[in-house]
Structure 1
Amino acid sequence: MQDRRFTLRRAAAADVQTLRRLAEEAFPATYREILSAEQIDYMMEWMYAREKILGEMAASTAWFVAEADGEPCGYLSVERSGDEVCILRKIYLVPRFQGCGGGEFLFRRAVACARDLCGGPCRMELHVNRRNRARGFYERMGMRCLRSGDFPIGGGYLMNDWIMGLEID
């Protein structure tokens, strides 16, 4: 495990290609043992199309690019949902940067972003596939399972998720 210096910066329209490249590496690696290749392809286009990311940036979703020693290594997105809830939409680290503190770095920055977006105490929620082993990581970060649900996303696919939450002071 190599020590790395992680940084995070707000993404802009010029970063969309970098976000898509990171997603092409991180997203399939996360789900290849959980979802079919067809569903992964569908979800990649559904969530990471250039127009989708740009639309989210222009609306209410804050996107961020993480770097390790200056090299892009992950991303997250957070969206305010009401007065006291923020949704952590995405939090991904490419595999070769996992295991050296990057996940914790990203998570802590997501908490800070949620606090800033809500302007104070709030709850941060995150959907996690019920078969995703990252649930243990989120629990170690202080999140707890609030409920579960099956959410249709189109193409005949469902997201079978835990909705996890963290109260932020």
Structure 2
Amino acid sequence: MISIIQATTRDIPLIHDMASIVFPHTYRSLLSKEQLDFMMEWMYSYDNLKKQMLEENNTYYIAYVDGAAAGYVSIRPESDDIFHLEKIYVLPQFQKFKIGKKLFQQAIKAIKEMHPDKCEMHLNVNRDNVAVEFYEHMGMKKIAEGDFPIGNGFYKTDYIMGITI
């Protein structure tokens, strides 16, 4: 059985632990170890996760399969009618269970609850990430691309994808 629950700050250690597995697994062939380490601290340290939740209006949801944490998604408002899908990751052992699709659908549902009128959901995805195909399958379109500096001389080389909801 799959369930998706909104996370709270009490879930920060769980999100951090999942990220420490899935983020390096996802980007091991795309990013250097130095950039992976930098991005893990930048996005997933306990302090940064707490800041995202309490100061930056990120809403996290955690997917569970038979009670075991399987993945997570986070969204945040970017402007009046644009929301950003910040993160969506599924642990490797759960990637054949359609958890990513369910987390994506949860993000859209949550955005519709926050903003019932027509709006957009955007996301950044590494241009070489196989997830680009998943997002296209979910109805997203490439709307821009760029090399975005993130600090320490590192860049995110991303597509920006969007969908109207």
TM over 0.5: yes
Structure 1 residue corresponding to 2:79, chosen from 79, 82, 96: 82
Distance 1:85 1:129 in 2: 20
2:53 is aligned to: 57
Q: What is aligned with 2:128? A: 131
Could you tell me how far apart the structure 2 residues matched to 1:69 and 1:46 are? Answer: 31
CA distance in 1 between partners of 2:34 and 2:41 (Å): 11
Partner of 2:59, secondary structure, is: strand
Specify the alignment match of 1:25 in structure 2.
Answer: 21
Compute the displacement of 1:117 (Å).
2.4
| Counterpart residue type for residue 30 of structure 1 | T
Structure 2 partner of 1:36: 32
Contact 1:67 1:74 (C-alpha < 8 Å) held by counterparts:
yes
CA contact (8 A) 1:39 1:157 kept: yes
SS at match of 1:166: strand
- State the AA in 2 paired with 1:83: D
The answer to whether the Cα contact below 8 Å between 1:77 and 1:89 also exists between their aligned partners in 2 is yes
In the superposition, the TM-score normalised over structure 1's length comes to 0.94
Question: Could you tell me how far 1:56 is from its partner in structure 2?
Answer: 1.3
Whole-angstrom distance in 2 between the partners of 1:81 and 1:11: 20
Give 1:65 shift. Answer: 1.3
**Counterpart of 1:27 in structure 2: which amino acid?**
F
**Within 2, Cα distance between the matches of 1:122 and 1:6?**
28
**Matches of 2:18 and 2:62 in 1, distance apart?**
9
Is 1:47 matched with 2:29? no
Q: What is the DSSP-based 3-state SS (H/G/I as helix, E as strand, rest coil) of the residue aligned with 2:79?
A: coil
- Structure 1 residue aligned with 2:154: 157
Q: Is the 8 A contact 1:85 1:118 kept in 2?
A: no
Please say if 1:98 is aligned against 2:95.
yes
| 1:108 aligned partner | 105
In structure 2, the partner of 1:148 is 145
Root-mean-square deviation (CA), in Å?
Answer: 0.9
**Pairs aligned (count):** 164
Q: Percent identity at matched positions?
A: 39
C-alpha displacement of 1:64:
1.4
Gaps of 5+ in 1: none
Q: Secondary structure at the match of 2:122?
A: strand
CA-to-aligned-CA distance 1:76-130 (integer Å, 9 cap, x gap): 1100111110000000000100012111111111111122222332100010000
| Unpaired stretches in structure 2, ≥5 consecutive residues | none
